[in-house]
């Protein structure tokens, strides 16, 4: 296998390629070339999916001028047959003819699937190699991740320049399987390993550091050539794949669904702003056992926990704080010395914004809902001395929460006769894609302030209603950023760059809503950030690292108001409490993974 004794041609080829190869698709050569031209300055390593073209053989000459004008480009020609997950419906002979003529057009590499290589006569495969083009032999499993060594052994006899193995991650631990395979094969420099699927994001970002020669990315959102593929700009700018190395600490957000979560862009922006060598990934799973194994195997230093895992994870924590124990849920875990510690930063995300606008002691607050977010709101507000009323569609759930927290329940028909200092919506009503009818009407908004925890869309029906009545509002973005800022501090021990975090989340939401770029002026963003994020006084850096006990105390931070009205992080003074047994597996060495 030429991986152990690289040829001069292989060395030259390796010197031309980068960590990311951008897949280019289109229905015409002109469309492909236009897309390639738009990305080539940032990422000159490209794969042209010729199987997306109606007549790829006739289209080849049209790429020749592009390569002549862009000599820095290194290009892969792929014409994958439909039987192997591609779009080309022609024969094996037709595929080979297209790939053999790709070299004369200016392509540097061709991608031939293992099934085609096995079906070819040795003489035909030799003719393909004699064109001088580099050969990738690939295998894609669209169903599972299994027997990667066996797949490698099937490809090795063909002595390709690159071996590409692409299974599908059905669970997070499938990334570990791929990563361990890449690490075992670290004496081979020509293996490309990636997991497809939403659960395979880890391999796309960490694969290169585990030993994958490179990874693949889409030219833009919506242009994916494989399940779970990440856009090139996201891979390079958000995940900073060029900076991921053995020392990079790994964090993530876990739950289901989390594909559209804005936590990765918010947290990775904060890491970049504060020069933290870390990466924050989307970890799609609804199985706690899957997540726990991944956390210990990679290892993952900290995780933002979303539904459906917030309650289920409690018995596996070494310690948590008393308020989180009362709430019965955590949204943040931190691994120290192989043990997991839990926190609930939703409380800070809800209480903090309200405390900036009013004194909560004695305040009358109406909380809508009785689920996880509502529990954080109710217990957090009661902890601050607020008088809390709970309105929920299911009265029994509201009554149980009221008994546990020392709050009161209220019926909808009593709202018109009541007035509140604030109304907090802790239900998913109003969220993008949620069609549930609103709990409140305009006549029910007898309040000084409306706080909707839903952050997508930017203006929910409840926020719109409050604006119409001239009632001051707090949008869900502020809660999202505040809880994320506290998580950042738990993960890193550094004050969070809240304005930058707010800015990038607002920008992402406006992009999703299709707002024009002119709407994102610095003036607009600074004005919003001034209202929605507090100033954080950064303490002087400590000259000595914190002890383990100090670290545990420090990470449980929450905003506190100073006499000047600003906020600063302070340690929660409650003693921590021990819960049920925690997993005590030894943390493995940092791993990685990848995909196309």
Please provide residue 488's backbone torsions phi and psi, each rounded to the nearest 5 degrees.
-55, -45
Residue 422: which H helix or E strand, with range? strand 422-425
Contact 309, 288 (CB under 8 A): yes
Predicted pLDDT at 522: 43
Topology given in CATH for the domain delimited by 8-246: TIM Barrel (3.20.20)
The crossing angle, in degrees rounded to 10, of helices 263-273 and 498-512 is 140
Spatial separation of the C-alpha atoms in residues 223 and 212, rounded to whole Å: 23
Residue 267 makes CB contacts below 8 A (sequence gap 6+) with: 251, 253, 280, 304, 484, 487, 488
Q: H helices within 45-110, ranges in order?
A: 56-59, 61-69, 92-105
| Residue 11 pLDDT class (50, 70, 90 cuts) | confident
Give how far Cα 453 sits from Cα of 350, 436, 466, 470, Å: 8, 16, 14, 19
Predicted pLDDT at 189: 87
Beta bridge pairs of residue 420? 447
Please say if the pLDDT value at position 407 is more than 50.
yes
Predicted pLDDT at 516: 53
Angular region, 517: left φ>0, alpha ψ -120 to 50, beta rest = alpha
Please say if the pLDDT value at position 572 is more than 60.
no
pLDDT tens track for 309-366 = 999 999 999 999 899 999 999 999 999 999 999 999 999 999 999 999 999 999 999 9
Angle 444-449-451 (CA atoms, 0-180°, nearest 5)?
90
Instruction: Supply 290's token pair.
Output: 């899957």
Spatial separation of the C-alpha atoms in residues 145 and 203, rounded to whole Å: 12
Architecture of domain 350-479 in this structure: 3-Layer(aba) Sandwich (3.40)
Average pLDDT, the chain: 87
DSSP labels, 566-588: -EEEEE--SPPEE-S----PPPP
Instruction: Supply 37's token pair.
Output: 């031209």
Is there a catalytic annotation at residue 127? no
In the chain, what are the domain boundaries? 8-246, 350-479
Determine which one of 19, 164, 249, 310 is catalytic. 310
pLDDT tens track for 500-547 = 999 999 999 998 887 554 443 343 344 344 444 433 333 334 334 344
Whether 8-246 and 350-479 share one fold: the answer is: no
Helix (H, G, I), strand (E, B) or coil at 515: coil
């Amino acid at each position: 296998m030429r991986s152990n004794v690289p040829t001069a041609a292989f060395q030259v080829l390796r010197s031309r390629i980068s960590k990311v190869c951008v897949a280019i698709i289109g229905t015409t050569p002109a469309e492909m070339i236009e897309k390639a031209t738009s990305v080539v300055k940032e990422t000159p390593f490209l794969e042209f999916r010729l199987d997306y073209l109606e007549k790829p053989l006739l289209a080849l000459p049209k790429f020749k001028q592009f390569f002549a004008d862009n000599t820095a480009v290194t290009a892969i020609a792929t014409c994958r047959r439909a039987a192997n997950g591609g779009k080309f419906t022609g024969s094996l002979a037709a595929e080979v003819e297209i790939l053999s003529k790709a070299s004369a057009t200016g392509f540097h590499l061709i991608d031939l699937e293992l099934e085609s290589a096995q079906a070819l006569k040795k003489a035909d495969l030799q003719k393909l190699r004699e064109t001088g083009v580099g050969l990738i032999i690939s295998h894609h499993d669209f169903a599972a991740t299994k027997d990667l060594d066996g797949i490698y052994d099937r490809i090795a006899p063909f002595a390709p320049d690159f071996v590409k193995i692409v299974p599908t991650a059905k669970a997070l631990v499938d990334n570990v399987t791929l990563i361990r395979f890449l690490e075992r094969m670290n004496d081979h420099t020509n293996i490309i390993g990636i997991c497809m699927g939403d659960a395979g994001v880890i391999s796309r970002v960490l694969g290169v550091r585990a030993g994958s020669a490179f990874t693949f990315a889409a030219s833009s959102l919506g242009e994916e050539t494989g399940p779970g593929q990440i856009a090139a700009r996201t891979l390079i700018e958000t995940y900073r794949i060029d900076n991921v190395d053995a020392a990079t600490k790994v964090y993530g957000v876990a739950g289901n669904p989390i594909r559209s979560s804005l936590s990765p862009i918010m947290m990775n922006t904060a890491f970049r702003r504060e020069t933290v060598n870390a990466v924050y990934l989307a970890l799609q799973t609804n199985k706690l056992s899957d997540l726990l194994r991944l956390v210990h195997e990679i290892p993952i230093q900290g995780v933002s926990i979303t539904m459906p895992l917030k309650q289920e994870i409690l018995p596996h924590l070494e310690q948590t704080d008393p308020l989180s124990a009362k709430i019965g849920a955590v949204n943040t875990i931190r691994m120290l010395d192989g043990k997991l510690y839990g926190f609930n930063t939703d409380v800070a995300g809800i209480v903090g914004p309200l405390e900036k606008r009013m004194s909560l002691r004695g305040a009358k607050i109406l909380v809508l809902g009785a689920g996880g977010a509502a529990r954080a709101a109710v217990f957090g507000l009661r902890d601050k001395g607020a008088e809390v009323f709970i309105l929920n569609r299911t009265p029994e759930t509201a009554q149980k929460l009221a008994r546990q927290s020392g709050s009161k329940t209220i019926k909808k028909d009593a709202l018109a006769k009541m007035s509140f200092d604030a109304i907090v919506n802790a239900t998913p009503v109003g969220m993008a894609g949620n069609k549930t009818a609103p709990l409140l009407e305009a006549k029910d908004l007898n309040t000084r302030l409306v706080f909707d925890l839903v952050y997508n869309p930017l203006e929910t029906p409840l926020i719109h209603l409050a604006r119409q009545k001239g009632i001051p509002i707090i949008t869900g973005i502020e809660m999202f950023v505040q809880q994320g800022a506290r998580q950042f501090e738990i993960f890193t021990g550094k004050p969070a760059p809240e304005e930058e975090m707010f800015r990038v989340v607002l920008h992402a939401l406006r992009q999703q809503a299709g707002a024009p770029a002119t709407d994102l002026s610095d003036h607009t963003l600074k004005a919003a950030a001034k209202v929605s994020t507090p100033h954080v006084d950064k303490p002087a850096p400590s000259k000595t690292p914190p002890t383990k006990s100090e670290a545990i105390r420090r990470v449980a931070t929450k905003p506190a108001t100073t006499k000047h009205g600003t906020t600063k992080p302070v340690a929660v003074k409650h003693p921590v409490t021990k819960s049920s047994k925690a997993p005590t597996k030894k943390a493995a060495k940092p791993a990685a993974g990848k995909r196309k």
